Structure 1
């Protein structure tokens, strides 16, 4: 499918501020960027960097009183659908070496503290897609989605205790539970079609069989309408903006529009989808 995605970010600055933006869409086997542009008002020099995971970062410094960043891109995506029954968890000895870091605890995903819970709730379920889907169902029914209920310090353990959160909290808890079950899992930021209200969205992927498959315990938007921005161990790796200095965001606009004639998408949580 063909998409038009983008964002506008407005900031007030009280002095020189350096920004690192992670808002550009990624390119991989199931997603391709056709065209894109980024505009800064006022104009400022821009540096770009692409890391080993394919995440793209832009760095800019400004001392203007106001800064507006506008990013727009046109992309095509063709998510792969797999047979859930055939998607099993690989033993650690058989995993690709570059997948192993996604088994370890990280800042927001303290999997080492959730092993008892994970094994009690999900240890008897067949390993693989069924087990991951079961923990997504558990999170959906035991954690309330509540905007503004958490902040940048909230971890998977906090979410488990408070039983409320937003998309990044749902993703962190799911990732931590997967890793506690020895399933590689990673955080994914996306532009999401049909997300209401529009925002940067967080989901997660697990490594099953020979590739990564996407899951979303929030059920807020169809996975076929996700356009990947970045992946990492948790949200600390893929924040849409990290700033250094006296800057403050005053406005955020996000869009993810389907350019096809019939954009209606119906996501079935039992369907295996690879972005």
Structure 2
């Protein structure tokens, strides 16, 4: 599918401040960027930084108090891989996991998997195959955690979400990741532009590493499984924040959009409706 994505972030800067933006579409085997443009309302130097995980950061410093706005637009084609259902019945041997995957097994700031191991074992330990376990985790989250705007903040962790039984997409993703890791399945945070998301915003979900492939999961069920343009992956939201700011600023607004290119027909794929459907974003 081919999507046009858009984001605009506006800030009031009160003192010299450095911004790290993470709003550009990822360049992966599963995505082709046809065209993209990043502009600002004032003259400033923009530096591109690429992290070891491939995240594309834009760094800039605003030295004087003023209004600062950054706008990003892109046309992106996504290439999804559907995985045979029989492959998903496998169990990943932890002894064979490569070094670059290992960090996604460990607890992280927002995903305290070590505190959820007993719960994960009791609830999902009897399910056969890693894919079945992750599907079971997503089903449990969907049916037991209320999607409630304003119910969490930037400090809310997976354990907090378990306790409060409410959250937003970020919290659903963190809980899914934590329960996967507690079950011995590597999992990572996924942030992106989302087609048909209401209200329009950046969207968070996660990927689980099963039989050598990162497979996509979204416990919120708010958008089609094939309706995202990936921005970045990370251990959790701390790795993939849309903006990191070092200074004194105030966010005036954030506007986000994701639309189909004119003339294209969208055929939604929803993994929660077909338990044999495994989808990879590459």
- TM-score, scaled relative to structure 1: 0.97
> What count of residue pairs does the alignment treat as equivalent?
275
User: Structure 2 residue aligned with 1:140, among 136, 139, 142?
Assistant: 142
Q: How far apart are the structure 1 equivalents of 2:9 and 2:233?
A: 21
| Correspondence 1:36 to 2:36 | yes
Flag structure 2 segments of 5+ consecutive residues without an equivalent.
none
Q: How far apart are the structure 2 equivalents of 1:14 and 1:261?
A: 44
Q: Offset of 1:264 from its aligned partner?
A: 4.6
The DSSP-based 3-state class of the residue aligned with 1:137 is helix
Aligned to 1:265: 268
Q: Offset of 1:16 from its aligned partner?
A: 1.4
Question: 1:13-162 to 2 correspondence within 5 Å?
Answer: 13-62=13-62, 63-87=64-88, 88-162=90-164
- Do the aligned partners of 1:84 and 1:130 also contact (CA within 8 Å) in 2? no
The DSSP-based 3-state class of the residue aligned with 1:76 is strand
RMSD between aligned residues: 1.1
Q: How far apart are the structure 2 equivalents of 1:143 and 1:115?
A: 18
Q: Offset of 1:91 from its aligned partner?
A: 1.0
Q: How far apart are the structure 2 equivalents of 1:261 and 1:4?
A: 12
Q: Offset of 1:85 from its aligned partner?
A: 3.4
Q: How far apart are the structure 1 equivalents of 2:80 and 2:232?
A: 16
Q: Offset of 1:266 from its aligned partner?
A: 4.2
Flag structure 1 segments of 5+ consecutive residues without an equivalent.
none
Q: Offset of 1:128 from its aligned partner?
A: 1.5
Q: How far apart are the structure 2 equivalents of 1:264 and 1:255?
A: 19
Q: How far apart are the structure 2 equivalents of 1:55 and 1:177?
A: 24
Q: How far apart are the structure 2 equivalents of 1:205 and 1:246?
A: 34
- TM-score, scaled relative to structure 2: 0.95
The DSSP-based 3-state class of the residue aligned with 2:58 is strand
- Do the aligned partners of 1:109 and 1:156 also contact (CA within 8 Å) in 2? yes
Q: How far apart are the structure 1 equivalents of 2:182 and 2:131?
A: 15
